[in-house]
Structures are given as C-alpha cells and as structure tokens.
Amino acid sequence: QVQLVQSGAEVKKPGASVKVSCKAFGYTFTSYYMHWVRQAPGQGLEWMGIIDLSGGFTSDAQRFQGRVTMTRDTSTSTVYMELSSLRSEDTAVYYCARDVLYCSGGSCYSPQYYFDYWGQGTLVTVSS
Amino acid sequence: SYELTQPPSVSVSPGQTARITCSGDALAKQYAYWYQQKPGQAPVLVIYKDSERPSGIPERFSGSSSGTIVTLTISGVQAEDEAYYYCQSADSSGPYVVFGGGTKLTVL
C-alpha cells in the first residue's frame, strides 16, 4: 500500500538550514507530483510548493521563494525539502503530500493540486 | 488575494447534522477539497472536487457548492468525527494552493 515515511524531528538554530526527507513506498514514484505543506503549532495548514517527481521541476509558494529547495532521488524514491535561513516562525510540522493522479478514458492527468496521501509529519523546531 | 474563510468552530450533538462552510471568490471557478485532521495526525481527504467522496470515507460525509461558498455536511455526526476540518482550493496557473483557516468540529 502507499506509504510516505518522513525523517525524524530536527532542532535547528536561527539562520541554519534543515533538510527533511520523504520516502515513498507502494506506487510508481515518477508518475506523481509531491507537495510540501507545513503546520505551525496550533495553526492551520500552509502550502509550500510542488515538485514533479519525473522531471524534477519545482514551483514554490511566493513567500518561500529563495528559501526552499525541493529535490528528489528517483533511485531511492525519496523527496527532499530544504529550508534555509531558518527563523523561529519556521517552527512547524512539515508534511509531504502526494498529488492525485486523475485517470479517465485511458489517459492520466496531473497535477491535480490536491492530496491523497500524506507523510506522518516532521517537527522542525527553530530555537537559539 | 486568494483566501478561503471558514468559521473557527462548529458544535453539534451526536446524531445531528454538522455543516461547515468555506467561502472565497476563487471557489466560483475552482474546485474545493476537504480534509479532516485529528490531533497529532496528518490530514485525511474526505471530499474532493466539491462533492466527490474518496473510497473508504463514510457516506455521512458530503459536499456541495454554490457560487463562492462550499459546504461540508456531516449527517448523523458521531463522536469520532470530532476533528479540525480544512477546505482547500488551487489555481494551477500559479500554481497556488490555499487552505482555509480550519474549523474545529466539537461533538457535544
């Protein structure tokens, strides 16, 4: 079955970078897109960006541009999200979330910009 | 700006019907999606494309759309439905994905 397994919790100092991984199981990795979504403590969900797992193309939310880097390793079916210049406001749980592949009439279409499977989340704490 | 607005909280008694709204100008043109999130867990998709229900989601969950407002309806609410519910939409031309602020459903 489909599983997204993320790396463990991290504690970082302000100004540092963090790299979170998300390893996919149970499906053809390169047929899908993956998103990153974060959730600050007690707050709502915030979209960070999307990566095409086949070609590696990315697009990120304007507020993160320049600070977030999304990559993938097709040999290990793993997606990475690196956030740089960390500040206390970046303390959050970071989720990878798989985009839906819509198939109809023998053709499949992606991305659909909504999410059918999520990782378990990775808590990143930024504190001096 | 691309914003989705939800009420912060909704309370219902077991067996009653809960309705959670989500409003935003973009909803007149884009689909809405709904996620359920319980404490300490990742979100789960409960409604997609305004009113479609994924396999495995109970029939008591339904969605509807009217203009710039979408509604998640939970009929015959059960204690296990107590959770936060988030609406979500997207603009593929951006691309841009936006979530509503979330609604805490309390089962009295």
pLDDT tens for B23-72 read: 999 999 999 999 999 999 999 999 999 999 999 999 999 999 999 999 99
**Cα–chain center distance at B75:** 14
Q: Residue A34: which pLDDT band, with cuts at 50, 70 and 90?
A: very high
Average pLDDT over residues A39-63: 95
Average pLDDT of every residue of chain A: 96
Task: Mutate one of B27, B48, B55, B97 to test the A interface: name it (highest A CB count within 10 A).
Answer: B97
CB spacing of B95 vs A120 below 8 angstroms: no
Q: Is the pLDDT of residue A5 over 90?
A: yes
Chain A residue numbers touching B101 (CB-CB < 8 A): 44
Chain B residue numbers touching A35 (CB-CB < 8 A): 97
Structural Rg of chain A based on CA atoms: 15
Average pLDDT of every residue of chain B: 95
Q: What is the pLDDT of residue A55?
A: 92
Q: What is the pLDDT of residue B1?
A: 59
